[in-house]
């Protein structure tokens, strides 16, 4: 039987997982990576790169490389104007329409770009099944996760991306809910569970009640434009100002800065201080090094962390609960590795959050579990999610009349009666909105619908019942009847910020024309990935604040020099297309760091056992 997988389509990284009645597991690529960087690059020859190779091209060909595309899904140009300046790619679009992202001379929509990422995950999963000797390795369908606070347009864009990747999207599920499913399955816990999900670009909080295998979401809240990206940008702005960089003309240099500050951000989850380091390159005439302490970092990100707390309080209020009634708090998303985030969550809920499940993988695992439920029809577990935002229509005076309230369990439906204002009127315009505000203009426009074919009658006589149905994916459909005649009304939909079916069809055809697989290119990419992994690990060790002490005490005299030389050599080889050189020099660095890795491992074990600091251990070694 062909396969149905679970996919976490993230802002920063994407993953694919699979469950076959048994334990769900994340599928790795050929080099053992679980995370696929959500980055797409298209070179001048129209070759499409996805993942780590695209990530490298961010430093060399940033104008043809796009990251964080999820932030653009289902959004309009007016939503992204503020942050556009820091992205290396250019965006355009008409007000109220789909954003177009420029990669060289090509213009692509966010669903197409996300489609490339999904297609790469599909390929990864199929390669895995093939290697397992599966008779039918083809992946035809998927459950894809989205932030709980995604609106209808953002969900629909995600579904379109799946179609463009050649996947039937069996279900769109919410990321925190998926995480809770994985968590609940793992821990067999019942009661009230809060899931705090701070990812690369989005923030969600969901409050669930788990009982008798039913995972019922009580309330959800969040911000679809808040995450690790915002933290990175704060740091990039500081370093870019130090270097006097202009993002408009020095995009490649800004990307190098971005890479360096992300590294420093990660370091600070482990250490009290680190350095942002940039080697000489475009926009950076001398090597740059800036000390960054955890305290300084925390004061910089405090406003971002604070923005997550208000949605948490609102979600609790909507669920009618006090923080003390929450039995377990689960952390999801890479940004929850930041100690300050953990501390603030702990303070709000008054209990230590669970961190034992990998916050990067738990969502994909949950999606795989849901995929398995859909395919097998097994009923032990059931997810009951809610719609995050109220759905309404614009009435006289631009006021919104709500039809389905936020936090309603889905599927949910509602209906509203319409009539005509003038004699023999045969059509009525309806404007559908999502959001909590009074005035239509303050809410998200989902689309405009035209009811046609109303039988000519005196004004006010027709009774047109319009039915709004939100399905289990959180996606809206609309139908209408004229009750006096029983005539089904034709509905014309013009989605705001979305693609029409015809547009998706056309893109589907276009994407086939550009699909190409080059085995040699892929091998080069794999070698570079492997090289990059060891380079990153080595550099991280060298940057440790306590490294000098450890080296002096435990390493041989010329060892550090040898490692630096091997590192420089390999980085130089990675810049070329010479497969043999990359392979050989990866081996050399591996050899050079063999003893260092052993020393670090022993040191970590000893320090953990004795609870001592590096200096103590180093002193002992002396």
Partner 1 sequence: MQPDTSAIPIEPCKHCGTDAPVDVHFCPRCDRILTLGRHGDYFTFFGLHRRLRVDIKDLEQRFRALSRQFHPDYFHNASTTERLASLERSSYLNDAFRTLRDPLARLEYLLKLEGFKPKESRDASATVPQGLLEEVFELNEELEAIQDIRADGAPADAIAERLDAARRPIEANLAEHERQLDALMATHDARFDAGAAEGRHATLAQLRTLLLERTYLTNLLATVRRELNGGGAASS
Half-sphere exposure of 123 (CA within 13 A, CB side): 15
409 contributes a contact to partner 1 by CB under 8 A: yes
* Span of 70-78, 124-132, 370-378, 519-527 interacting with partner 1 by CB under 8 A: 370-378
* Span of 110-118, 198-206, 298-306, 374-382 interacting with partner 1 by CB under 8 A: 374-382
Beta carbon nearer to partner 1, 382 or 523: 382
What's the token pair of residue 117? 């990422």
Q: How many residues does the chain have?
A: 622
382 contributes a contact to partner 1 by CB under 8 A: yes
371 contributes a contact to partner 1 by CB under 8 A: no
- According to DSSP, the residues that pair with 479 across neighbouring strands are 467
Q: What region does 283 belong to: left with phi over 0, alpha with psi -120 to 50, or beta?
A: left
Residue of 33, 53, 70, 265 marked active site: 70
Beta carbon nearer to partner 1, 188 or 379: 379
Question: How many Cβ atoms sit within 10 Å of the Cβ of residue 248?
Answer: 10
Q: Find the shortest distance in angstroms from Cβ 373 to partner 1.
A: 6
Phi, psi of 350 (to 5 degrees): 70, 20
Give the helix ranges, DSSP H, for 456-518: 501-514
Quick one: which of 273, 318, 416, 471 contacts partner 1 (CB under 8 A)? 471
Phi, psi of 133 (to 5 degrees): 80, 25
413 contributes a contact to partner 1 by CB under 8 A: yes
* Span of 28-36, 467-475, 529-537, 600-608 interacting with partner 1 by CB under 8 A: 467-475
Half-sphere exposure of 426 (CA within 13 A, CB side): 5
Question: How many Cβ atoms sit within 10 Å of the Cβ of residue 422?
Answer: 8
What's the maximum distance between 2 C-alpha atoms anywhere in the chain? 98
Q: Find the shortest distance in angstroms from Cβ 73 to partner 1.
A: 24
Residue of 197, 344, 385, 530 marked active site: 197
Q: Find the shortest distance in angstroms from Cβ 176 to partner 1.
A: 18
Quick one: which of 377, 397, 486, 611 contacts partner 1 (CB under 8 A)? 377
Distance between CA 541 and CA 421 in Å, rounded?
73
* Span of 129-137, 241-249, 411-419, 505-513 interacting with partner 1 by CB under 8 A: 411-419
The arrangement of strands across the sheet holding 382-384 comes to 328-332, 191-198, 203-211, 214-223, 382-384
The number of residues that bind partner 1 (CB under 8 A) is 23
Quick one: which of 408, 419, 425, 590 contacts partner 1 (CB under 8 A)? 408
Quick one: which of 211, 270, 317, 423 contacts partner 1 (CB under 8 A)? 211
DSSP 439: B
Distance between CA 140 and CA 120 in Å, rounded?
13
Beta carbon nearer to partner 1, 57 or 155: 155
Residue of 29, 152, 175, 223 marked active site: 175
Beta carbon nearer to partner 1, 475 or 524: 475
Is position 259 annotated as part of the catalytic site?
Answer: no
What's the token pair of residue 146? 């989205």
411 contributes a contact to partner 1 by CB under 8 A: yes
Is position 175 annotated as part of the catalytic site?
Answer: yes
Is position 197 annotated as part of the catalytic site?
Answer: yes
Beta carbon nearer to partner 1, 374 or 565: 374
Beta carbon nearer to partner 1, 387 or 445: 387
Contact (CB, 8 A) for 337 and 426 = no
- According to DSSP, the residues that pair with 328 across neighbouring strands are 193
Q: Find the shortest distance in angstroms from Cβ 483 to partner 1.
A: 12
Q: What region does 447 belong to: left with phi over 0, alpha with psi -120 to 50, or beta?
A: left
Distance between CA 606 and CA 616 in Å, rounded?
11
410 contributes a contact to partner 1 by CB under 8 A: yes
The catalytic residues are: 8, 70, 175, 197
Give the interface with partner 1 as residue ranges (CB under 8 A).
170-171, 211-212, 214, 216, 373-375, 377, 379, 382-384, 408-413, 469, 471-472
């Amino acid at each position: 039987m062909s396969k149905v997988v679970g996919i976490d389509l993230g802002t920063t990284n994407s993953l694919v997982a699979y469950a076959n009645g048994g334990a769900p597991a994340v599928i790795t690529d050929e080099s053992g990576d679980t995370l696929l960087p959500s980055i797409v690059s298209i070179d001048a020859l129209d070759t499409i790169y996805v993942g780590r190779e695209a990530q490298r091209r961010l430093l060399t060909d940033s104008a043809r490389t796009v990251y964080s595309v999820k932030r653009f899904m289902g959004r309009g140009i007016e939503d992204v104007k503020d942050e556009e300046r820091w992205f290396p790619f250019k965006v355009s679009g008409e007000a109220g329409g789909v954003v177009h992202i420029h990669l060289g001379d090509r213009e692509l929509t966010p669903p197409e770009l996300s489609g490339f990422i999904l297609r790469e995950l599909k390929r990864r999963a199929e390669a895995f099944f093939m290697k397992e000797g599966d008779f039918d390795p083809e992946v035809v369908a998927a459950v894809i996760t989205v932030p709980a606070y995604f609106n209808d347009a953002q969900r629909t864009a995600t579904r379109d991306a799946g179609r463009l990747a050649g996947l039937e999207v069996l279900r769109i599920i919410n990321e925190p809910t998926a995480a809770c499913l994985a968590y609940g399955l793992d821990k067999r816990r019942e009661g009230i569970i809060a899931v705090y999900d701070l990812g690369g670009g989005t923030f969600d909080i969901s409050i669930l009640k788990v009982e008798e295998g039913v995972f019922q979401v009580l309330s959800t809240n969040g911000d679809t434009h808040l995450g690790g990206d915002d933290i990175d940008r704060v740091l990039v702005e500081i370093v870019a100002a130090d270097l006097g960089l202009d993002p408009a003309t020095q995009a490649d240099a800004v990307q190098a800065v971005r890479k360096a500050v992300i590294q420093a951000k990660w370091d600070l989850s482990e250490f009290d201080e680190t350095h942002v380091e940039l080697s000489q390159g475009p926009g950076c005439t001398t090597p740059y090094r800036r000390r960054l302490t955890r305290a300084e970092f925390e004061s910089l990100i405090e406003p971002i962390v604070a923005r997550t707390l208000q949605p948490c309080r609102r979600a609790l209020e909507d669920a009618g609960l006090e923080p003390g009634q929450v039995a377990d708090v689960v952390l999801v998303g890479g940004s929850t590795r930041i100690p300050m985030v953990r501390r603030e969550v702990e303070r709000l809920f008054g209990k230590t959050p669970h961190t034992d499940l990998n916050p990067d993988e738990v969502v994909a695992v949950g999606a795989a579990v849901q995929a398995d439920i859909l395919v097998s029809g097994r009923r032990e577990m059931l997810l009951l999610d809610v719609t995050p935002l109220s759905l309404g229509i614009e009435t006289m005076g631009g006021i919104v009349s709500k039809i389905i309230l936020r936090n309603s369990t889905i599927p949910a439906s509602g209906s509203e009666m319409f009539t005509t204002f003038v004699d023999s009127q045969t059509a009525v315009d309806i404007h559908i909105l999502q959001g909590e505000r009074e005035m239509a203009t303050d809410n998200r426009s989902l689309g405009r619908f035209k009811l046609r074919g109303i039988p000519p009658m005196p004004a006010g006589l027709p009774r047109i019942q319009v039915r709004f149905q939100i399905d289990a994916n959180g996606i809206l459909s609309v139908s209408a009847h004229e009750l006096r005649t029983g005539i089904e009304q034709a509905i014309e939909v013009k989605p705001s910020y979305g693609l029409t079916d015809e547009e998706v069809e056309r893109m589907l055809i276009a994407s086939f024309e550009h699909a190409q697989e080059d085995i040699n290119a892929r091998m080069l990419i794999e070698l570079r990935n492997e090289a990059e992994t060891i380079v990153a690990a080595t550099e991280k060790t060298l940057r440790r604040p306590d490294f000098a002490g450890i080296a002096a005490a435990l390493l041989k005299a010329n060892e550090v020099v040898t490692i630096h030389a091997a590192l420089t050599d390999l980085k130089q080889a990675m810049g070329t297309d010479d497969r043999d050189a990359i392979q050989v020099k990866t081996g050399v660095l591996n050899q050079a760091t063999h003893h260092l890795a052993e020393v670090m491992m022993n040191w970590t074990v000893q320090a953990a056992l004795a609870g001592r600091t590096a200096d103590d251990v180093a002193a002992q070694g002396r």
